[in-house]
Amino acid sequence: MTTSFAQVNGVSSLTIRQEEAPAALDPGMVEVSITYCGICATDTHNYTSGGQIPASVFGHEWTGVIAATADDVTGLPVGTRVIASVGAACGVCAQCQAGHPGHCDLAFAEANGVAPGSPAHGAFAQSMVVSARRVMPVLEGLSDIEAALVEPTAVTFHAVRRTHQPLGAIVVVQGAGPIGLLAAQHARHAGAGHVLVIEPNEQRRQAATKLGFTDVIAPGEAARAHVLELTDGLGADVLYECTGAAALLQPSAELVRRGGTLSLLGFPMTDSTVSYGDWQIRELTVIGSLAYTRDDFLGAQRAIADGSVRVSDLHTGTIGLGQLSAMLDELDSGRTEHAKVLLDPRI
């Protein structure tokens, strides 16, 4: 039996290829039939850069069903609904041996598609073979669409958890794309006293309002004045920077009060110019966040399951493999109305 998958083969170019399903799986591996795979900015960057990101990361927000397992794999019977995850801390890498399992080298390599045995391609595919470490059963009650959105939910769950946001904090979320909207919901779930969302795009502001955020404004001097008014001139306790726009890093920091926290989720593709002296004088705490740990996936699923974080509202379209190239072009153009598009390889 053959399976189809998408692979970047040049700058803003991809091809749909076929491969034979393996007759037998290597130890520790499982085959997953893909139900949905989300498209994110990392996928778009990989496409427009001609494949500069590891091949297995091109399509990393997936959910599916166990189709086959190696003989030594237990606890994942055929038919189990699963999501993409990373393995538990390995206990033997340098980070784990030094007492830092939350930064396990193996789990980090898995998240970035460079671990030994990483898939040959991502989940813009009908099926894929992946280590059993990399899958997690879907919690009962989650729909397939919700399951497909667990991975970005885990990214933002991880960031808010790392930030140690104080209860009752005045929080600013810069950017209301999928990551910003998820981060805002986690911040609210974590006990923020007030959440202000700053976003230039009117449709994204409407999306934030639909999710229950009542303080949603466009960027600019009015936004800065509003932050100062909310905080008696001090600035935000916590600001989550979710745009990844390098030019916004210093202006974002300037919205944070002295002694407050700047939490970085967006990933800039160019160098940023900041005022180190400003950050030092104001004793800012700066938190960098990338990827996740296995328990972030469980926490993210629970947050979705109990309604604390709503992800289905982010889903704005579903496409098939044959439409992937055109959708990546649209998302890269900056003129799309989509928030989160899912690819269904069955159509």
Q: What is the pLDDT of residue 122?
A: 97
Closest CA to 81 of 34, 35, 138, 29: 138
Count: domains in the chain: 2
Q: Are 196 and 138 contained in the same domain?
A: no
Phi-psi label, residue 84: left if phi above 0, alpha if psi -120 to 50, beta otherwise: beta
pLDDT(27) > 90: yes
Per-residue confidence (pLDDT) for residue 1, from 0 to 100 = 79
Beta-strand pair 81-84/135-137? antiparallel
How long, in residues, is the chain?
A: 347
Average pLDDT over residues 11-40: 95
Same domain for 138 and 6: yes
Q: Is the pLDDT confidence value at 23 over 90?
A: no
> Is 204 domain-assigned?
yes
Reported as a single tens digit per residue, the pLDDT across 234-287 is 999 999 999 999 999 999 999 999 999 999 999 888 899 999 999 999 999 999
Which of residues 96 and 334 earns the better pLDDT score? 96
Q: Are residues 226 and 126 in the same domain?
A: no
CATH number of the domain where residue 245 is located: 3.40.50.720
pLDDT confidence tier of residue 335, bands split at 50, 70 and 90: confident
CATH number for the domain harbouring residue 79: 3.90.180.10
Do 283 and 320 share a domain, yes or no? no
> Residue 119: what pLDDT?
93
Is the whole-model pTM more than 0.75?
yes
- Residue 76 pLDDT > 90: yes
| CA separation for the pair 49, 64 (Å, rounded) | 28
In the structure, what pLDDT confidence band is assigned to residue 220 with cuts at 50, 70 and 90?
Answer: very high
Query: How high does pLDDT run on average in the chain?
Result: 96
Q: Are residues 11 and 40 in the same domain?
A: yes
* C-alpha dihedral, 61 to 63 to 68 to 69, nearest 10°: 60
Alpha carbon distance 300, 304 (integer Å): 6
- Angstrom distance (rounded) from CA 48 to CA 172: 31
Region 2-19: mean pLDDT is: 96
Angle between helices 178-189 and 150-163 (to 10 degrees): 50
| Nearest-angstrom CA–CA distance, 99 and 59 | 32
Closest CA to 184 of 217, 157, 223, 164: 157
Q: Quick check: 337 pLDDT over 90?
A: no
Task: Based on the fold, state whether residues 21 and 92 are members of the same structural domain.
Answer: yes
Residue 301 belongs to some domain of the structure:
no
Would you say residue 294 lies in a domain? no
Are 17 and 144 found together in one domain?
yes
Q: Which domain holds residue 134?
A: 2-149+311-343
The model's pLDDT over 162-215, given as tens digits with 9 standing for 90+, comes to 999 999 999 999 999 999 999 999 999 999 999 999 999 999 999 999 999 999
